[in-house]
Structure 1
Amino acid sequence: MAEAAQVAVIGGSGLYRLLDDADEIRLDTPYGKTSDVVSIGNLGGATVAFLPRHGRNHELAPHHVPYRANLWALKQLGVRRVIAPAASGSLQPGILPGDIVICDQLVDRTSGRADTYCEPGCVIHASLADPYCEALRTLACTAACQLHIRVHGEGTVVVIQGPRFSTRAESRWFAQSGWAVVNMTQYPEAALARELGLCYLNLSVVTDRDAGVIGNPDAPPVTAQSVLEVLRQGMGQARQLISAIVEGLDSASVCQCQALAAEARI
């Protein structure tokens, strides 16, 4: 087997490859196959595992991503920290395409997704009060500022089922609720990471101003092609930020993610 990795990157839309000169392995799990092969190589002086969330050819829609298999496989490889960039739409006038939001909260609006490792005979009541690792968030904010990346150090992501985009009415509702960005994959990924005791960090790469946002009522509808066009530029910044975060991991403060997972099991 390839060398164990303590940190992983789950690549979102637009980020299908990350590592040069990497070993590729296919892992089977109790929850089926992962989205794609896992690549293991060097980044920022550390051994890093990389897994494209939607597959390297973007063949998996958000509601078809094997979230449980993905997180389980990374845990098998020895991963303790997960960096998860994800394409997102802005819900607030001050958050612009190309910005990165380091989310601190999420709202789940999905349905029917396999979202727990709690099986018959195993009871898990995971705390998701603070779904993202605070130590990794602090590190990411510092790294983004040093790179002069336009970043928002907090914000709530509302996770919709997809694969369709929001109606204008839904977008106005989300914006009026004060939520920062909208995305289709942060749940159940963050919740599953918590159950496994993995530190989990979201980097929301803003691709568009969602239809219906205050101050943007006549915006053209969001389309897949317009999102991909912005991603070609935004993911370049995300790559820089990911590398800087990995380089700074040794200086990250102690967090409660593993303790919260241990306390969740009855």
Structure 2
Amino acid sequence: MMVNTPYGQPSDYITVGEIKGVKVAFLPRHGRGHRYPPHMVNYRANIWALKALGVKWVISVSAVGSLREEMRPGDLVVPTQFIDMTKGRKYTFFDGPVTVHVSMADPFCEDLSERLYEAARSLGYRAHKGATYICIEGPRFSTRAESRVWRDVFKADIIGMTLIPEVNLACEAELCYATLATVTDYDVWAEHPVTAAEVAKVMSENTEKARKVLYEVIPKLSGDPDPSRCSCCRALQNAVQ
């Protein structure tokens, strides 16, 4: 189905179905055929549409580069922090007259993140948690100098292009949001230039891993989030001025 929003149409039609009795909505962030590069995705429309459909939990599957030797291509990573290096995206639903300052001290849903990590481990996959995701504007990859800054100065662990402002907006919408990041390559700090072909090859191999993790986690997400396990549903409390 296509959901119209105050911010235009989302990236594509939203497919609604069930996984083991749990109703799910799937929205391809880049559109079918990968029509929208990261900086052109209508993130506000995407999150608004999911909220309008009654979605409570958002699992973002994202391809990333690794800035750490121990996070190898093919590994799964569940980040807990981010660094925003994007430049001109639409970061909020609240452009005025209402002003909202949500806390992003802990930007990901701790409950959902832990579920993803434990599911990946239970399936026997190499998985990491507690990582910092640095989000760059794209669509180009980093220079060697940039990659070394992200790794050595900023101490980031993985790098991608789609987390921001998706995670911000999910917080403003009071949705439980977590990322399952799939490592496709070592970023260019490792001296080997990244190519789109290499990324696509490993990403294809990672797809099955991500699918199995989702099928493990989603059946356990029936009902509303437990307020005792996360505070996502209260994100706007004390945030409105």
SS of the counterpart of 2:164? helix
Alpha-carbon deviation of 1:248? 2.2
1:18 aligns to what?
none
- Structure 2 letter corresponding to 1:139: R
* Contact 1:197/1:262, CA 8 A, preserved across alignment: no
* Contact 2:66/2:72, CA 8 A, preserved across alignment: yes
TM-score w.r.t. length of structure 1: 0.86
- Sort the Cα spacing of 1:79 and 1:29 in 2 relative to 1 into closer, same or farther, 3 A: same
SS of the counterpart of 1:263? coil
Are positions 1:259 and 2:234 aligned together?
yes
Of all paired residues, the percent bearing the same amino acid is 43
Alpha-carbon deviation of 1:44? 3.3
Alpha-carbon deviation of 1:261? 2.4
1:15 aligns to what?
none
Are positions 1:174 and 2:150 aligned together?
yes
- Structure 1 letter corresponding to 2:10: T
1:150 aligns to what?
126
Q: 1:208 aligns with which of 172, 179, 185?
A: 185
Alpha-carbon deviation of 1:250? 4.9
- Structure 2 letter corresponding to 1:167: T
Q: Distance in 2 between matches of 1:150 and 1:234?
A: 12
- Structure 1 letter corresponding to 2:157: A
2:20 aligns to what?
44
- Structure 1 letter corresponding to 2:195: T
Show structure 1 runs of 4+ deviating over 6 A.
Answer: none
Q: 1:196 aligns with which of 152, 166, 173?
A: 173
- Structure 1 letter corresponding to 2:236: A
Q: Distance in 1 between matches of 2:20 and 2:72?
A: 28
Are positions 1:140 and 2:116 aligned together?
yes
1:240 aligns to what?
212
Q: Distance in 1 between matches of 2:237 and 2:36?
A: 32
1:162 aligns to what?
138
- Structure 2 letter corresponding to 1:47: K
5+ residue gaps, structure 1:
1-24
TM-score w.r.t. length of structure 2: 0.95
Q: Distance in 2 between matches of 1:229 and 1:65?
A: 23
Listed one character per residue, the Cα deviations across residues 177-211 of structure 1 (whole Å, up to 9, x for unaligned) are: 32110000100000000001001010111000001
SS of the counterpart of 1:102? strand
- Sort the Cα spacing of 1:250 and 1:47 in 2 relative to 1 into closer, same or farther, 3 A: closer
Alpha-carbon deviation of 1:235? 1.2
Listed one character per residue, the Cα deviations across residues 20-45 of structure 1 (whole Å, up to 9, x for unaligned) are: xxxxx001100001000000001132
After TM superposition, the structure 1 stretch with the greater mean CA deviation from structure 2, 184-193 or 117-126, is: 117-126
Alpha-carbon deviation of 1:106? 0.4
Q: Distance in 2 between matches of 1:51 and 1:250?
A: 19
SS of the counterpart of 1:123? coil
Superposed counterparts of 1:52-91, under 5 Å = 52-91=28-67
* Contact 1:44/1:244, CA 8 A, preserved across alignment: no
* Contact 1:162/1:184, CA 8 A, preserved across alignment: yes
Q: Distance in 1 between matches of 2:95 and 2:143?
A: 36
Q: 2:221 aligns with which of 244, 249, 252?
A: 249
- Structure 2 letter corresponding to 1:209: Y
Q: Larger relative CO (CA 8 A, sep 6+): 1 or 2?
A: 2
Superposed counterparts of 1:99-110, under 5 Å = 99-110=75-86
- Structure 1 letter corresponding to 2:214: I
2:106 aligns to what?
130
What do you get for the CA RMSD once the two structures are aligned? Answer: 1.3
Q: Distance in 1 between matches of 2:122 and 2:219?
A: 13
Q: Distance in 2 between matches of 1:49 and 1:262?
A: 27
